[in-house]
Amino acid sequence: MRVFIFISGFLLFFHLANAQTVTTGNLKNGDLIFVGAEKANLSGAINRVTQKRDSIAFDHIGIIEKGHDATFVLHASSKRGTIRENILAFYQTQKTADNKIMVYRLKDSFQYAIPAALLSAKKMMGKPYNWTYILNENSYYCSDFIERSFRKDHIFKLEPMTFINPKTGKTDDFWIDFYKKQHLEVPEGKPGCNPNGLAASEKLMLLGNFINQRLAN
């Protein structure tokens, strides 16, 4: 399961059919890789509170690191915590028949932030996944991990979380049960971030739809 829990000030509107294809060879250090949301369970609950309309909804994110002979994704995995994972393994675990994996890149004027972001990301390796989505220094969720990686240069910002279903105007039942099981109150209004909000940043540009050529052939 992955997470993007909060309403963004922007919705992501673009035509996927016109998106360019991105392969491993096109990737650069600091590129951000976004995983499209599924429609059921946690992802379904996420979609309800983010008012998804005619746009791709993301529910996971990682940052690219290009090694000498391999490409890696640094991300906060719900199953393994914060890890550095070969991009082939990442693709195999994240890609489904119903979702798309998209790549964004920082615009030229913000590329300076990437070396420090990768250093910060590596310092956070080995931390557990944050299932409460309430910010703390001992565990991270996916977009939290990315926001922290770039925090030194203020590339992204935290915003108030919301778990309200816009169709009912009330807290979504899924989230009531989700936090009840953890003996917590729903953290409405607490600071946080989400993949959709990060993807909507004016500091990023969309490269296109990522295809792993080794699996596509």
Write the DSSP symbol of residue 217.
-
Dig out the tokens for 114 from the structure. Answer: 């990437």
pTM: 0.87
What CATH code is carried by the domain that includes residue 31?
A: 3.90.1720.10
Continuous segment of H or E residues that includes residue 58: strand 58-66
Q: Name residue 65's amino acid.
A: E
The domain containing residue 122 runs over which residues?
16-212
Q: What is the predicted pLDDT for the residue at 214?
A: 67
Would 9 be classed as within a structural domain?
Answer: no
Token pair in block for residue 179? 């936090």
Amino acid 18: pLDDT: 52
Per-residue pLDDT of the chain (217 residues; tens, 9 = 90+): 444 444 343 334 444 445 689 999 999 999 999 998 876 666 666 656 654 444 568 889 999 999 889 999 999 999 999 999 999 999 999 988 778 899 999 999 999 999 999 999 999 999 999 999 999 999 999 999 999 999 999 999 999 999 998 888 999 999 999 999 999 999 999 999 988 889 989 999 999 999 987 655 4
DSSP 62-96: EEEEE-SS-EEEEEEETTTEEEEEEHHHHHHHH--
Residue identified by tokens 């220094």 is 137
Whole-Å CA distances, 184 to 3, 160, 177, 204: 18, 17, 10, 35
Q: Assess if residue 36 is contained within a domain.
A: yes
Domain assignment present for 73 = yes
pLDDT attached to residue 96: 82
User: What is the 8-class DSSP label of residue 190?
Assistant: -
Q: Is 194 part of any domain?
A: yes
**Into how many domains does the chain fold?**
1
